[in-house]
Amino acid sequence: MTTKLNQIIAVEKGVKSGALRDLTDAHHQLQKPALLAGISRTYQPKDEDGEVLPPESTRVQVKTEDVLRHTATVLTRLFDVTATKDWANCVARADVVVDGRTLLSDVPVSYLLFLEKQLVDLHTFVKKLPLLDAAESWSFEESADYWRTEQVRTIRTKKVPRNHVKAEATEKHPAQVEVYYEDVPVGYWTTVKFSGALPARRVNELVDRVEKLQQAVKFAREEANALEVTDQRIGDAVFGYLFG
Q: What are 184-199's pLDDT values in tens digits?
A: 999 999 999 999 999 9
Amino acid at 100: G
pLDDT level of residue 69 (50, 70, 90 thresholds): very high
Report pLDDT digits (tens) over 104-126. 999 999 999 999 999 999 999 99
pLDDT at 95 (0 to 100) = 96
Nearest to 231 by CA among 83, 58, 36, 69: 83
**Main-chain dihedrals φ then ψ at residue 50, nearest 5 degrees:** -70, 165
In this prediction, what percent of the chain has a pLDDT beyond 70? 99
On average, the pLDDT of the chain sits at 92
Its pTM stands at: 0.68
pLDDT at 170 (0 to 100) = 77
Average pLDDT (79-92) is: 92
Classify burial at 97, counting beta carbons within 10 Å of its beta carbon; exposed 0-12, middle 13-18, buried 19 or more: middle
pLDDT at 219 over 90: yes
